Structure 1
């Protein structure tokens, strides 16, 4: 062919692809992928070989999925656009109309809203367990139509710690998967799948990414599945595919749950992460243990200092002996107690406002798991639409503040808190160096 036109050349001219092995994960920032041969397209759509479209599969995204599965001790991971998408996909892969969830009452309010408002419209009901240490309460809430037990490893607000091993035993006796949101703990501090849980979810926007720059979520599956029990409770996993093709249980075995989440939920609802976001999450994961270890150490130092302050009514941090779940923390969190917790000031919402406005090192924002220390007033933000009784039940009071401790120097954080306590009350507080 002769010389092509200018517009054709500006679209199609590119250097030949040379073989290269980059040390950093390459960013495949593309909507789709070329097929080298005619038959390759048919092989992809028939057997799932290779790559065709980023919504279905992308090498950058798959690299991060592989790392997450390895860190959590799971068989496979599925990376999604947000943590809320991860929760939705994980639950929709297991539930259908007429079925039931038993959930801890100590969960993220976005998840509570999903269960109470959105899934209820699809005919899926939820029972919330207030005393999460009471295994009898979990047992009593299970019905013939229950298909999921749901909890957070370390909970939002009151910093409650679930006894994953004991709850996994309850789930196993009933053949019901235990789904754990492990966002607060991260796989560095605790790996619920190794303690018997079946599915783990994350908001990768938080500690895994670490810098507050991108959104993301993940579902990690244990790969443990009793085929007979799964076929009984989750018939969609045992149903033949269109045209009489093998069922997911036949094709994927123990990975049938996450295969359904990947192929039938995520691919169709479409919460696909950007390959650029996946890359940044992967970069964050490379320093996860370093950040979380320092954040946990800082948090313990800050919590210990706060618990002795006369202006502070209580500190809900699982690393303190005063916390009701400290015994589980000592057993299950040998590398640190996490870095997100609440403190309740003596006073009211106005006291909390003066405290927040006086902070200089802490950033006032809706986020957590950042390298920077953050603060939020739950009663007027994340928990604003609960009743007073509902807020009190999950440890949120007018003077309660949630802090996410970062990697700054602990002395600077304590100094900032001391100034804020002085500004929020009439008590003269000496500066702590």
Structure 2
């Protein structure tokens, strides 16, 4: 592994960031279930707190188990560093925190997870931030939405719930021209299907709760830093480009170069916001990532088969899966997601809202849960759950109208999933 060769994804998902435990020789990464770490001496402690030396101080900031996960995800994404945190929602705030100030805004896609829309349209107002929601298929609208106070552009690679694929190359060209970072939520795609940094993303966020862990056991999030953005190119990002009072005037961009954002996320973000990933969650996610490519191949294979069946069913109005030749996003697969269009999509049921509710209640294999990316196949009626707080117009814009259900296709036998949908549709549309 030290011969300079670039390892393939299947090898990196098992080995990146991981080494035998130096104390015991344990091959699997141990769960370091500790809050604090003994310093070698007073000088060692002072250097750690002054960011003059890298090490472990307190598990709100750094933890050896979490550190392995951070390095592994950063490696898989092609990034330079990462910050693990308590959830995907926490990762979004952690990504924005070094970039924003009161009065600043972000330009965000209308096609986002409902909880993200609520976070951006309501909650971030309490920080004095705001969001402008734009259809990211309308590139001129994206350009026009960016103003002097815009500090980031935000989208999902494969959008939840509809499975729409974003033209990341086109969007990153716009953000580059404006001199602001592009943040891409890559939860639905994972780095196996899509690597946003290769398409110009500055930062990549994940809800590790979903496909990375893959078994519905723990919540978590991560922010991956590409290391490619010049935070000193203008005066828009003083947290990174100007002296930090809490560290005796240290300037993160000057002191840490390409790693400035990562170090700020730990030294300031985790220190003050406390959105910490716990080591047991990191352990579960590390185990999940070891089989990521195997699972994603099966997820995509099943999704393709189920979506194709649904599209021909007379009880279904339409299917949004980008892997279908009928999808307006089909041509983006080869460029953005060359290994497949993921396993998340929606379909509209004839009979509207009431038929959707009946469908959900009639399914036997599909689990009705507010989650995605599990080995198990999942379903939810977004308009009555995850997108319930949004207006009808916002629901429609997000692809979560009242006649639509979202599927997260698991790794079971596809024929069994189709049979389950068949009997449930019969009940729903009787």
TM-score calculated relative to the size of structure 2: 0.92
**Does the Cα contact within 8 Å between 1:204 and 1:215 map onto a contact in 2?**
yes
Q: Which residue of 1 aligns with 2:279?
A: 275
Alignment RMSD: 1.5
Q: Given the superposition, is the C-alpha separation of residues 141 and 40 from structure 1 closer, same or farther in structure 2, using an over 3 Å criterion? A: same
Q: Which residue of 1 aligns with 2:238?
A: 235
What secondary structure, in the 3-state scheme, does the structure 1 residue paired with 2:235 have? helix
The structure that has the greater radius of gyration is: 1
- Aligned-pair distance for 1:227? 4.7
1:219 partnered with 2:255: no
Q: Which residue of 1 aligns with 2:111?
A: 106
CA distance in 2, matches of 1:341, 1:202: 18
CA distance in 2, matches of 1:62, 1:118: 29
Q: Which residue of 2 aligns with 1:328?
A: 332
Alignment match of 1:129 (pick from 134, 139, 144): 134
- Aligned-pair distance for 1:18? 8.6
**Does the Cα contact within 8 Å between 2:157 and 2:184 map onto a contact in 1?**
yes
Q: Given the superposition, is the C-alpha separation of residues 19 and 144 from structure 1 closer, same or farther in structure 2, using an over 3 Å criterion? A: closer
CA distance in 2, matches of 1:39, 1:125: 43
**Does the Cα contact within 8 Å between 2:231 and 2:240 map onto a contact in 1?**
no
Q: Deviations over 1:125-159 (max 9, x none)?
A: 221112x1221111111101111001011111222
Alignment match of 1:21 (pick from 12, 25, 30): 25
What secondary structure, in the 3-state scheme, does the structure 2 residue paired with 1:43 have? helix
What secondary structure, in the 3-state scheme, does the structure 1 residue paired with 2:328 have? coil
Alignment match of 1:181 (pick from 178, 181, 185): 185
**Does the Cα contact within 8 Å between 1:224 and 1:255 map onto a contact in 2?**
no
Q: Which residue of 2 aligns with 1:301?
A: 305
- Aligned-pair distance for 1:253? 0.9
What secondary structure, in the 3-state scheme, does the structure 1 residue paired with 2:341 have? coil
Alignment match of 1:62 (pick from 67, 80, 85): 67
Q: Which residue of 2 aligns with 1:388?
A: 392
Alignment match of 1:157 (pick from 161, 164, 167): 161
Alignment match of 1:80 (pick from 73, 78, 85): 85
Q: Which residue of 2 aligns with 1:141?
A: 145
1:313 partnered with 2:312: no
- Aligned-pair distance for 1:342? 0.4
1:418 partnered with 2:422: yes
**Does the Cα contact within 8 Å between 2:118 and 2:389 map onto a contact in 1?**
no
**Does the Cα contact within 8 Å between 1:109 and 1:382 map onto a contact in 2?**
yes
Unpaired segments of 5 or more residues in structure 2? Answer: 1-20
Q: Deviations over 1:50-102 (max 9, x none)?
A: 21211111111100100000000000011101111000111112111111111
CA distance in 1, matches of 2:95, 2:244: 20
**Does the Cα contact within 8 Å between 1:227 and 1:253 map onto a contact in 2?**
no
- Aligned-pair distance for 1:331? 2.4
How is 1:196-207 mapped onto 2 (pairs within 5 angstroms)? 196-207=200-211
Q: Which residue of 1 aligns with 2:8?
A: none
- Aligned-pair distance for 1:244? 4.4
**Does the Cα contact within 8 Å between 2:215 and 2:374 map onto a contact in 1?**
yes
Q: Which residue of 1 aligns with 2:404?
A: 400
TM-score calculated relative to the size of structure 1: 0.91
CA distance in 1, matches of 2:87, 2:248: 34
What secondary structure, in the 3-state scheme, does the structure 2 residue paired with 1:258 have? helix
What secondary structure, in the 3-state scheme, does the structure 2 residue paired with 1:406 have? coil
CA distance in 2, matches of 1:371, 1:244: 48
CA distance in 1, matches of 2:208, 2:319: 26
What secondary structure, in the 3-state scheme, does the structure 1 residue paired with 2:162 have? coil
- Aligned-pair distance for 1:226? 2.1
CA distance in 2, matches of 1:244, 1:28: 31
Q: Deviations over 1:229-273 (max 9, x none)?
A: 1x5211221222347443101111122222222211222110111
Q: How many residues align?
A: 408
Query: Which deviates more, 258-267 or 68-77?
Result: 258-267
Query: Which deviates more, 50-59 or 252-261?
Result: 252-261
